[in-house]
Structure formats: structure tokens, C-alpha cells
């Protein structure tokens, strides 16, 4: 009896493994930054290029860094969600304006509203490479000490915000006392 | 359609098909041929994450161009191949390398062929031993096969 059971069990295990594999999205590449300190950066601010936005500005609080650009369709999709999140005042959202035209970026914010506490301009994409960005929109969540807690790839939705971000934000605050 | 026209049309089609052969990376080669060779090897081994089945050398995506620029600078700076691969995997993970490195996480994958072969040999050995211990059956005795 076991003679026949072994191949059947092996087959069933393989089917199970492949079934699980099929459900995964190969375009979502897990970030090696999670659990590590955020990369240092210094970018001119979109609304005041004489001042820099640096990683020090994000420290000391739970913060979000949202990678966006006016050429990015997904960023347009998630814009209303970002506005809604910024209205809750839960965490400040910092923007990384990725390989964009600053004039267009400012016009976009004027037209659609500005959810960002501050925005850094990454015109040549170097900061984005340090963060392992490969497609906008991407959103990073950082603890007050600058540790990267979570990365979301694809447009943010309220559902993702409530399911993935809020529990982590509260845990990060709880950890800080 | 005349023969000549058809020939011209075929020629145009062939030229159209050949456009991917045009260089994507049109930058000047690095002055040092060894460094240029390293740069070339790396761009052929690093995955473009935007279009995942292309290498940096194959891809026209803007991110691939940025990463080529970054690689070119690291190579020109005199960094070693290991240092550059670390630079990439620290940011993008092991997936960025087309030839993944051996690590605790993928050890099973690397060792699976050897383990399966060893397991198969053990299995085969046991079957052969068991069969050898069986008495010969009638056919074999009568036939007198080797």
C-alpha cells in the first residue's frame, strides 16, 4: 500500500507547491531594506530648492516616504488616498519626486492638492537607486529611529493603508513608549 | 505586385526586424579595456527590474539607463566585481543578479540536484540488493540467460 502512497503524496505536495507559487506576483520584488536603517540622502526641496530634504528630516517620528512623479499613472490613482491619509494626521508623508519635471510637479500639486509634508527632487534618479526603487508609486514606512519597517509597491488604497500600515505604525509608536 | 517591389518590401521588413540589434548602450567605452570588459559583463548579468526578463544591457527602460550609469561610475572608480554586486543586492535584493549567489535561503535549491541524485542512488542500491537476494524464478533458470 505504501508503495503507491509515496508517489501520490509527492505529487500532491508538488501540486500544492506550484499552486502557491502561481498565486505570487513575480513583479513584486521584496525589498532588502526592510529592518535596516534608511539610506542617507539629501535632495533639493520641490517648493524651496535652496533648502535640502535629508533623512534627518524624517527621523524622530514615524514617517512615510512616497515615490511619485507626474508621468506615473499609478501616482495619479493613489493621490486621493494620500490626501485622505494626510488629513488624518496620522503620520507625515514625505515625497520623493522621481525623475520628474519640477514645474509640472508643482502644477500637479496645485491642481490636485498637496498631501506632502515636504518633497525632495530626485532629478537623476540616484536617491531612488539607493532606496531600491524600481517603479513608482512606492511607499516606505520608517520608524522614528529611521529603520525601514515596510514597503508597498503599487498605488496605495485605503484598504492597504488600514491592513498593512496602521498596525505597523501603532506598533512602532508602542515600541517607543 | 512586381517581383522588384516584393523584394524591396522584404528588404524593408528585414531591416525593421534588425533594429533590436542596434546598440542600446551607446556610451563611449571606458578607457581601460579590463574595466570595460567588467562593465560589459556586469550589464549582461544584472536584471532590469522594470522588464524582468531583460538584462541591463538589453533594456531601454529609464531605470536600466540609470543603473548602467551607476555601474559605469562604480567600475570607473575601480570597485571590484564583488563590491558592485553588493551595491546592487543591498538595494534590490538577490533577484537583481541573473546568477544568484549561494546563501542560507537558497541553499536547498542549489543542493537539490545533488541530494536528489544521492537519494536516487541509495534507492537504486537498495532495490538491486533486494533483487539480488531473491531466488531466481523459473523463466530465468530455464532460459539460462546471462
Q: Which helix (DSSP H) or strand (DSSP E) does residue A142 occupy? A: strand A138-142
Answer yes or no: do B36 and B89 share one domain: yes
Answer yes or no: do B31 and B93 share one domain: yes
Beta-carbon separation of B66 and A129 below 8 A:
yes
- Tell me, yes or no, whether B116 lies in a domain: yes
Distance CA A57, CA A40 (A): 11
Count structural domains, chain B: 2
- Tell me, yes or no, whether A90 lies in a domain: yes
- Tell me, yes or no, whether A73 lies in a domain: yes
Cβ(A5)–Cβ(A80) below 8 Å = no
Answer yes or no: do B60 and B30 share one domain: yes
Distance CA A115, CA A107 (A): 14
- Tell me, yes or no, whether B136 lies in a domain: no
Residue A142 has pLDDT above 80, yes or no: yes
| Domain residue limits at B55 | 26-97
Residues of chain B with C-beta less than 8 angstroms from the C-beta of A27: 52
Mutate to test the interface with A, among B50, B53, B66, B123 (most CBs of A within 10 A): B66
Q: What is the 3 state secondary structure string of chain B?
A: CCHHHHHHHHHHHHHHHCHHHCCCCCCCCCCCHHHHHHHHHHHHHEECCCCCCCECCCCCCHHHHHHHHHHHHHHHCCCCHHHHHHHHHHHHCHHHECCCCCCCCCHHHHHHHHHHHHHHHHHHHHHHHHHHHCCCCHHHHHHCCC
Answer yes or no: do B65 and B90 share one domain: yes
Answer yes or no: do B49 and B82 share one domain: yes
- Tell me, yes or no, whether B10 lies in a domain: no
CATH number reported for the structural domain that contains residue A161 in this entry: 3.40.30.10
Answer yes or no: do B32 and B90 share one domain: yes
Q: Tell me: the pLDDT tens digits for B6-50? A: 888 888 888 777 655 556 777 788 889 999 999 999 999 999 888
> What pLDDT was estimated at residue B19?
56
- Tell me, yes or no, whether A167 lies in a domain: yes
Which candidate from B63, B67, B92 shows the least CB-CB separation from A29?
Answer: B92
Answer yes or no: do B86 and B112 share one domain: no
Distance CA B74, CA B66 (A): 12
Count structural domains, chain A: 1
- Tell me, yes or no, whether A10 lies in a domain: no
Which candidate from B62, B66, B92 shows the least CB-CB separation from A132?
Answer: B92
ipTM given for this complex: 0.82
Q: Tell me: the pLDDT tens digits for B68-92? A: 999 999 999 999 999 999 999 999 9
B107 touches chain A (CB under 8 A): no
- Tell me, yes or no, whether A92 lies in a domain: yes
- Give the residue among B49, B72, B71 at the shortest CA–CA distance from B61: B49
Q: Tell me: the pLDDT tens digits for A31-73? A: 899 999 999 999 999 999 999 999 999 999 999 999 999 999 9
Predicted structure pTM score: 0.79
Residues of chain B with C-beta less than 8 angstroms from the C-beta of A125: 62-63, 66
Amino acid at each position: 500500500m505504501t508503495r503507491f502512497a509515496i508517489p501520490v503524496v509527492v505529487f500532491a505536495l508538488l501540486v500544492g507547491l506550484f499552486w502557491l507559487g502561481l498565486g505570487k506576483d513575480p513583479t513584486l520584488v521584496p525589498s532588502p531594506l526592510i529592518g535596516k536603517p534608511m539610506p542617507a540622502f539629501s535632495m533639493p526641496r520641490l517648493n524651496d530648492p535652496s533648502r535640502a530634504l535629508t533623512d534627518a528630516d524624517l527621523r524622530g517620528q514615524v514617517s512615510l516616504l512616497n515615490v511619485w512623479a507626474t508621468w506615473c499613472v499609478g501616482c495619479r490613482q493613489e493621490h486621493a488616498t494620500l490626501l485622505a491619509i494626510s488629513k488624518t494626521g496620522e503620520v507625515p508623508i514625505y515625497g520623493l519626486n522621481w525623475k520628474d519635471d519640477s514645474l509640472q510637479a508643482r502644477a500637479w500639486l496645485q491642481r490636485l492638492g498637496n498631501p506632502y509634508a515636504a518633497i525632495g527632487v530626485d532629478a537623476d534618479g540616484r536617491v531612488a537607486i539607493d532606496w531600491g526603487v524600481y517603479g513608482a508609486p512606492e511607499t516606505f514606512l520608517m520608524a522614528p529611529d529611521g529603520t525601514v519597517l515596510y514597503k508597498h509597491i503599487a498605488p496605495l488604497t485605503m484598504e492597504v493603508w488600514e491592513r498593512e500600515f496602521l498596525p505597523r505604525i501603532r506598533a512602532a509608536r508602542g515600541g517607543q513608549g | 505586385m512586381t517581383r522588384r517591389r516584393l523584394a524591396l518590401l522584404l528588404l524593408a521588413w528585414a531591416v525593421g526586424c534588425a533594429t533590436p540589434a542596434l546598440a542600446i548602450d551607446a556610451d563611449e567605452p571606458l578607457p581601460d579595456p579590463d574595466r570595460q570588459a567588467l562593465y560589459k559583463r556586469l550589464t549582461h548579468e544584472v536584471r532590469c527590474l522594470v522588464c524582468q526578463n531583460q538584462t541591463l544591457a538589453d533594456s531601454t527602460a529609464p531605470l536600466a539607463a540609470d543603473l548602467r550609469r551607476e555601474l559605469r561610475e562604480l567600475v570607473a572608480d575601480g570597485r571590484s566585481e564583488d563590491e558592485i554586486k553588493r551595491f546592487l543586492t543591498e538595494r534590490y535584493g538577490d533577484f537583481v543578479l541573473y546568477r544568484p549567489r549561494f546563501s542560507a535561503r537558497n541553499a536547498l535549491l542549489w543542493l537539490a540536484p545533488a541530494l536528489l541524485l544521492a537519494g536516487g542512488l541509495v534507492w537504486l542500491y537498495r532495490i538491486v540488493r533486494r533483487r539480488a537476494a531473491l531466488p531466481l524464478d523459473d523463466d530465468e533458470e530455464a532460459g539460462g540467460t546471462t
